[in-house]
Amino acid sequence: MPAIIEADDEGLYVLKFRGAGQGPKALIAELLAGGIGRLAGLPVPEIVFVELPPDLARTEPDAEIQSLIAASGGLNLALDYLPGSVTFDPLVFKPDEKLASRIVWFDAFVCNVDRTARNVNMLMWHRKLWLIDHGAALYFHHAWTHGDTHALTPFSRIADHVLLKAAGMLEDVDAEMGALLTVEKIASIIDLIPDAWLGADSGFDGKSQQREAYLSYFNERLESSQVFVQEAIRARAAHL
């Protein structure tokens, strides 16, 4: 349950709570996937860290929200609020072929399961498409180990992507996206993960090994991009 907040910079943001159901890993997915999307030049709102005082829970009359605030005291994540935006409707707005292909490539790269007709997770703002809500990406990190090979999976769920039919340039954007997303640049985003969000994980020996696992995933994913690109092309052909 996100919340619209006004921060101390007088800006409005959509706050994602660390104490929500899926915990800090949903915020890690939001940070990494959203940051990589912005790195690739995709329309993802600005991402910021927000320090949430737990004392705010005292003035909240709703017991459920009160508990959520109390459990989320400390560092949380937020995205720039897009006032007046509306949910993307694929029957009303059709993005150009290249943008659709870049978005499909990106979602396959980060294994984002939430860009379907049932849950598009896209907004229209000032006649421009914006990508939001990446907390369900990297879903495997909720139960992974140091030796996992998720980076080599084709991500068959791309077949449900709301923009797949429009993504006719997947081969063309593959090289372009790979050039934009260098391992060094992705590493700088991984370094932004707060230590407090990297809790004890039975699959790893410490926080540094968890960071290494994220970097290894993205590095291998880039090197084997044809695995998920060809799967998306196959799924698209089956839907045409």
Q: What is the model's pLDDT at position 201? A: 82
Position 62 scores a pLDDT of 74
pLDDT of residue 236: 97
Report residue 49 as tokens: 């860290």
Q: What is the pTM of this model?
A: 0.93
Q: Which residue(s) pair with 48 in the sheet?
A: 78
pLDDT in tens, the chain (240 residues): 788 989 989 999 999 999 887 889 999 999 999 999 999 999 999 999 999 887 777 777 777 888 888 788 889 999 999 999 999 999 899 999 999 999 999 999 999 999 999 999 999 999 999 999 999 999 999 888 877 788 999 999 999 999 999 999 999 999 999 999 999 999 999 999 999 999 888 788 889 999 999 999 999 999 999 999 999 999 999 988
- pLDDT value at residue 199: 83
Integer CA distances (angstroms), 135 to 63, 199, 221, in order: 25, 17, 19
Residues 148, 120 contacting (CB under 8 angstroms):
no
The confidence score (pLDDT) of residue 137 equals: 97
Amino acid 3: pLDDT: 85
* pLDDT recorded at residue 239: 84
